[in-house]
Chains A and B, each alone.
Chain A
Amino acid sequence: ELKVEQNPLFLSMQEGKNYTIYCNYSTTSDRLYWYRQDPGKSLESLFVLLSNGAVKQEGRLMASLDTKARLSTLHITAAVHDLSATYFCAVDTRDDKIIFGKGTRLHILP
């Protein structure tokens, strides 16, 4: 069964700093997603990563995928308070079942 592990699970950081969230998964997959969730809200799609070496950037967030290492990263550059949220990675299994990690709760201190 596919397992998706994120780390860290909790992250408190100062504004202006850089940090990386890691997502490891246990079996072969060719699609990986990053979502953002604000407290009490739904999930918002951030990135869809499809192939080995894929890199996507949106504002201060950059996501990458290494399918050989079964690893994706979400890098935050010069964090701002508005990025405080929970970030989930999710991996697509070959039979279209999408499995989520436990999420990384990011708290950015002003």
Chain B
Amino acid sequence: GAVVSQHPSRVICKSGTSVKIECRSLDFQATTMFWYRQFPKQSLMLMATSNEGSKATYEQGVEKDKFLINHASLTLSTLTVTSAHPEDSSFYICSARQPPGQGDGYTFGSGTRLTVV
């Protein structure tokens, strides 16, 4: 079945530094990937839609300059949290959409727990 690998699973960083999270589709090509943020005991909030070879589409209220998304290939999207602050601490989850004809479903990564100290 379709597999999405998200790395790292946990990261602790100092306030003011940047952190990069990777999301890879291992056995299919994903033209579209999604990045979500999840607060404790809450739902997933869509941050942005990442399309291979073009700029990401950000949801309202999400800072583009703070959450940089790059989707340079059909199997890799990255989320960089720039100048991280404690309020950015959260659980970040990526999702990749399988192409039509290959299930057209959504596969999720296992998430990244970011803690900014």
Q: Do A and B come from one complex?
A: no
Instruction: State the B residues within 8 Å of A (CB).
Output: none
